[in-house]
């Protein structure tokens, strides 16, 4: 055992460390400022103090600055008195795996290093967040306290010590702290194997006529997908593409959507298209699933998984309820009504599902932003969603497109799209939202007369607020909602995860129960609403853009 003296280092507070939708996300260069990372970590430790005797999980998505940050945090955790630190080998832990390890090893929480789907590299993004003992993102109350701590911090604690070897499994004792380098995959893979029907899924691959591709986008899920899909389920070697985590994600944008996962999208299109494709993001919590020449919208995915939960061993005894973030389409609400289970509408951010999951009020939850999950961990979980779909395909013995079309035939179809305007001037974006909020009281009854939207009328509008049914905490100003008389809805909000200017998100959805209209192009089906959204908010005027940067 090495004896070490703790150092108290004087530091200057920063005023820009308020956690956003999911932790603190900034450019790497901001994190590299003297004391920047240390201040935030000490603020976390001060908030959860006393740290003495507690265990902490530590890992990240492998992006640029991950390893350096892990060494800094290990030294600080030792100085702050933690007795046990579990670190993913190579500094790697996907977000859902970190949640799994926190829960399994009953630690007081964990620090996850990731900027999720944002690009990585010296000039790109980095991020850090604290998850509590339930394995879930710190709730608002805790992130507010952490922010307050960052504003008044004057010192942080650390030690002088050499870097810890991150690439060898094993334990090392420094002062009172045991540092354990753990296999980042095994706990998570075991959990997945306990939940799904692996035998049924194996048979898909044994027959040899089912073709799957999983695009790990050179992000954290490569090793997890290889272990689960190729080793445990017997999918052929090469099923997982871009499977080696790279610090810059191979120069790509690790965001599993139709724009950024184009390699996968190409494999799922055309005459020789594969049967099933999936991708996950930088830290492995998001998922996109595709059938042969068929895109599954994440809102539909949540609804379909809910409707078919009884096909999965882990949920065969029934589910208690579901939740979706407010901007997510209302497809899952229809399923919940039919199943006679509650459906909760929460603000954007996985942290808002935590209380509902802990209280057993919900079993499944999801978001339009390619996030789906359940009570098995307290994070959204990309590979879990892929396994859920594979399990469904194996049980139903139907192509993905049939599963989705049968769902629409039973419940109707909720067309959904999100239009993102990225890196917009923050002042202009905020002014747009301010003016929109000002108009809310006068909106109901407004009739539109544009070429495509003639006769559309606003039924109601509000600024979404949420009262948590478990602890009664209130969260306000979560996006402007506008409901129209054709069953349509438009939501306007500013993203809480961007690192440059503001990102305006416009969410549009509309219910359709005429089967003759189930095969429309989504943008066409929602064209009236798209026009109304611009008329209402002056999107083109405020952003100076003729069209969105990303459409999902």
Q: Active-site positions? A: 116
Rounded CA-CA distance 218/256 in Å is 12
Cβ of residue 318: shortest distance to ligand G16, in angstroms? 26
Rounded CA-CA distance 377/97 in Å is 8
Rank residues 94 and 242 by Cβ distance to ligand G16 and give the closer one: 94
Q: Which of 498, 547, 487 is nearest to 508 (CA)?
A: 487
Cβ of residue 380: shortest distance to ligand G16, in angstroms? 7
Cβ of residue 492: shortest distance to ligand G16, in angstroms? 12
Rank residues 223 and 371 by Cβ distance to ligand G16 and give the closer one: 371
Cβ of residue 429: shortest distance to ligand G16, in angstroms? 13
Rank residues 121 and 234 by Cβ distance to ligand G16 and give the closer one: 121
- Name the token pair of 78: 């030792």
Rank residues 112 and 394 by Cβ distance to ligand G16 and give the closer one: 112
Rank residues 230 and 375 by Cβ distance to ligand G16 and give the closer one: 375
Rounded CA-CA distance 436/130 in Å is 34
Rank residues 42 and 118 by Cβ distance to ligand G16 and give the closer one: 118
Cβ of residue 133: shortest distance to ligand G16, in angstroms? 19
Q: Which parts of this chain interact with ligand G16 (CB under 6 A)?
A: 21-22, 116-117, 281, 285-286, 325, 348-350, 367, 369, 371, 495-497, 505
Rounded CA-CA distance 339/320 in Å is 10
Burial 210-235, CB ≥16 within 10 A → b, else e: bbbbbbbbbbbbbbbbbbbbbebbeb
- Count Cβ atoms within 10 A of the Cβ of residue 19 and give its class: 0-12 exposed, 13-18 middle, 19 or more buried: buried
Length of the chain: 552
Cβ of residue 482: shortest distance to ligand G16, in angstroms? 18
The long-range contacts involving 469-476, CB below 8 angstroms and separated by at least 24 positions, are 469/344, 469/355, 469/356, 469/361, 470/355, 470/356, 470/358, 470/359, 470/361, 471/355, 473/139, 473/140, 473/141, 475/140, 475/347, 475/352
């Amino acid at each position: 055992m090495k004896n070490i003296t703790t150092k108290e280092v004087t530091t200057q507070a920063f005023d820009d460390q308020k956690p956003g939708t999911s932790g603190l996300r900034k450019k790497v260069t901001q994190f590299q400022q003297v004391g920047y990372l240390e201040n935030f970590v000490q603020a976390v430790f001060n908030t959860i103090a006393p740290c003495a005797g507690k265990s902490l999980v530590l890992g990240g998505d492998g992006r640029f600055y991950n390893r350096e940050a892990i060494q800094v945090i290990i030294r600080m955790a030792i100085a702050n008195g933690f007795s046990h630190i579990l670190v993913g080998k190579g500094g790697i832990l996907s977000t859902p795996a970190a949640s799994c390890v926190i829960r399994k090893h009953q630690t007081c929480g964990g620090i996850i290093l990731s900027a999720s789907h944002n690009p990585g590299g010296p000039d790109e993004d980095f991020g850090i967040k604290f998850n509590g003992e339930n394995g879930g993102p710190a709730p608002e109350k805790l992130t507010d306290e952490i922010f307050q701590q960052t504003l008044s911090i004057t010192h942080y604690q650390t030690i002088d010590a050499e870097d810890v070897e991150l690439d060898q499994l094993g334990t090392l004792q420094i002062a009172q702290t045991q540092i354990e380098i753990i296999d980042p995959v095994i706990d998570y893979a075991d959990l997945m194997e306990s939940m799904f029907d692996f035998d049924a899924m194996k048979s898909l691959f044994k027959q040899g006529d089912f073709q799957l591709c999983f695009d790990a986008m050179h992000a954290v899920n490569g090793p997890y997908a290889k272990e689960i899909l190729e080793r445990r389920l017997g999918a052929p070697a090469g099923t997982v593409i871009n499977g080696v985590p790279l610090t810059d994600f191979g120069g790509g944008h690790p965001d599993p959507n139709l724009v950024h996962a184009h390699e996968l999208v190409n494999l799922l299109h055309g005459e020789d298209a594969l049967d099933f494709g999936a991708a996950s993001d930088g830290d492995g919590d998001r998922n996109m699933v595709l059938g042969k020449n068929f895109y599954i919208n994440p809102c539909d995915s949540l609804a379909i998984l809910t409707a078919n939960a009884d096909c999965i061993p882990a949920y065969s005894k029934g589910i208690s309820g579901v939740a979706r973030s407010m901007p997510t389409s209302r497809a899952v609400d229809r399923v919940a009504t039919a199943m006679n289970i509650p459906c909760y509408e929460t603000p954007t951010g996985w942290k808002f599902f935590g209380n509902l999951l802990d209280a057993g009020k919900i079993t499944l939850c999801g978001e339009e932003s390619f996030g789906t999950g359940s009570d098995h961990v307290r994070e959204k979980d990309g590979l879990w969603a892929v396994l859920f779909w594979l399990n469904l395909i194996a049980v139903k013995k139907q192509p993905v497109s049939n599963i989705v079309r049968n769902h629409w035939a039973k419940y109707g179809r909720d067309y959904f799209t999100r239009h993102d305007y990225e890196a917009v001037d923050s002042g202009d974006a905020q002014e747009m939202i301010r003016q929109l909020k000002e108009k809310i009281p006068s909106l109901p009854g407004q009739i539109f007369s544009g070429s495509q939207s003639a006769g559309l009328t606003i039924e109601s509008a509000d600024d979404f607020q949420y009262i948590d049914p478990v602890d009664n905490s209130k969260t306000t100003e979560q996006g402007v909602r506008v409901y129209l008389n054709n069953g349509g809805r438009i939501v306007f909000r500013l993203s809480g995860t961007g690192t440059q200017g503001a990102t305006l998100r416009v969410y549009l959805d509309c219910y359709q129960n005429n089967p003759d209209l189930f095969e429309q192009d989504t943008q066409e089906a929602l064209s009236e609403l798209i026009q109304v959204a611009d008329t209402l908010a002056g999107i083109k005027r405020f952003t100076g853009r003729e069209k969105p940067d990303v459409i999902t």
